[in-house]
Amino acid sequence: MKIFLIGFMGCGKSTLGRKLATKLGYDLIDLDHQIEKNTGLAVGDYFSTHGEEAFRKLESETLQAFNYPKNCVIATGGGTPCFFDNIDWMNANGTTIYIEMPPTALAKRLESGIAKRPLLRNLTPEGVLEFIESKLAEREPFYTKAALVMSGISLTADDIRAEILARN
């Protein structure tokens, strides 16, 4: 089974993905790490050098061309489901889980790592919250196409595992 974790940056996709993969005995694929491995550039550097359009194209190609193990958890980028046909492709090729969080919680989680986030690095703390609210409104229609929507505030890998097992 392939499990795609989707949601806004800072919602916990990579952290929960690592824990969930361990609990299930699955491989973990971090899409951003795969892009970095393929290009030799950090995602932020690729984004800054080549622009968002080139990054989104590369991200989609990486997502859809990767040779996934039979059983794996895939931590996607925050924008991955929102471009090209990525959300439909993920739904057709695995189980998608949207880790939903309110904008204020996301802003709090992202405070310390703003410099590493290309879309946030030049914003004030107030600007970060406004950006999150705006982007979340744009992305929500894609995120909610996920097979499962789970609140991320106190979400654990055990919660996700239990929900997946209950459905299969």
Known binding-site positions for ATP: 10-15, 117
The CATH number of the domain where 149 resides is what?
Answer: 3.40.50.300
Distance separating alpha carbons of residues 101 and 99, to the nearest angstrom: 7
Q: Which residues are annotated as a binding site?
A: 10-15, 32, 56, 78, 117, 139
The predicted structure's pLDDT at residue 116: 78
Q: What is d(CA 124, CA 127) in angstroms, rounded to the nearest whole number?
A: 5
Burial class (CB in 10 A: 0-12, 13-18, 19+), 11: buried
For residue 97, give both structure tokens: 């889980």
**The pLDDT value given to residue 50:** 96
Number of domains in the chain: 1
Per-residue pLDDT of the chain (168 residues; tens, 9 = 90+): 999 999 999 999 999 999 999 999 999 999 999 999 999 999 989 988 999 999 999 999 999 999 999 999 999 999 999 999 999 999 999 999 999 999 999 999 998 888 778 778 888 888 999 999 999 999 999 999 999 999 988 999 999 999 998 987
**pTM, two decimal places:** 0.94
Q: What is the model's pLDDT at position 63?
A: 98
Supply the pLDDT for residue 113. Answer: 82
Q: Which residues are annotated as a binding site for substrate?
A: 32, 56, 78, 139
Binding-site residue set for Mg(2+):
14
pLDDT at 119: 79
Residue 108 pLDDT:
92
The dihedral built from the CA positions of residue 20, 140, 36 and 59, taken in this order, carries a sign that is positive
Q: Is 154 helix (H, G, I), strand (E, B) or coil?
A: coil
Domain extent, residue 85, equals 2-167
Phi-psi region of 149 (alpha: psi -120 to 50; beta: other; left: phi over 0): beta
